[in-house]
Amino acid sequence: MTIHREGYTVLFVLLIVLFGLNWALFSYYPNSPLIQNSAILVSVLFYLLILQFFRNPIFSITKNNKHVLAPADGKVVVIEETIETEYLKEKRKQVSIFMSPVNVHVNRMPVAGSISFFKYHPGKYLVAWHPKSSTENERTTIAVRMNNGVEILFRQIAGALARRIKWYVKEGSTLDQGQEFGFIKFGSRVDLFLPLDAKITVKIGDVTKGGRTIIAELA
């Protein structure tokens, strides 16, 4: 387990702020050990809470060009057929994964290939399970073309807490299956749009692990 680079600045600044607040509190209440010890305890617990947001587990990726891996840790909240209207403009199977604040927030490539489409959309911050969050919230749309020509599209979607989406790809980039492509601070949602002949291997309510859980099998 390591700390993700997105957390370096946040954690450093937070450490300085908490140290300053505790120093001020100790100066104001020099003879109150109960208040001092309570402040230290609350500061440590709060810091550990923020620290876990940026954890980055290390594990090996089992690559398979017939498998679609989960792009994020979380829980499956949507499995349905829908029309993808932005880029593919065709009927697809949608699988959506909700990332809570306690999940790992690293986003990983579901399949290997080259990025055929990318677009960032500023937007609202509706709760991630809101029906309109996929089209109205801040989000990215990313499509990857596999070596066999099949395209998989996925979206990082901000939620009420997640107000900072990070991505590390651009059109033309080539990435391996399971490779990190982005990060959503403090959780949110990732939508996958798969071919209609893909066999979905998860069900609503299943817990996923990014880069490890098999979401679907491609024909």
In this predicted model, what pLDDT tens digit does every residue of 87-117 receive, in sequence order? 999 999 999 999 888 888 899 999 999 999 9
Separation CA 157–CA 140 (nearest Å):
7
Let me know if residue 81 belongs to a domain: yes
CATH code of the domain in which 197 resides:
2.70.70.10
Query: Which residue's structure tokens are 């939620």?
Result: 159
User: How many structural domains comprise the chain?
Assistant: 2
Please check whether residues 48 and 73 belong to one and the same domain. Answer: no
Full-model pTM: 0.84
Which residue range(s) make up the domain with 27?
2-56
Contact 26, 36 (CB under 8 A): yes
- In terms of average pLDDT, the best of 25-39, 45-59, 105-119, 183-197 is 105-119
Q: Stretch 193-198: mean pLDDT, rounded?
A: 97
Give the DSSP H or E segment for 133. helix 133-136
Same-domain check for residues 99 and 188: yes
Q: Are residues 34 and 129 in the same domain?
A: no
Pair of tokens at residue 88: 């593919």
Q: Would you say residue 71 lies in a domain?
A: yes
Band (211; pLDDT cuts 50, 70, 90)? very high
On whether both 40 and 81 belong to a single domain, the answer is no
Residues 133 and 126 sit within 8 Å (Cβ to Cβ): yes
Q: Which residues are catalytic?
A: 188
Does 145 reside within a domain?
Answer: yes
132 inside domain: yes
Q: Does the residue 62 lie in any domain?
A: no
CA distance 112 to 60: 15
Determine the 3-state secondary structure of 20 from DSSP.
helix
82/120 same-domain check: yes
Q: 43 and 150: one domain?
A: no
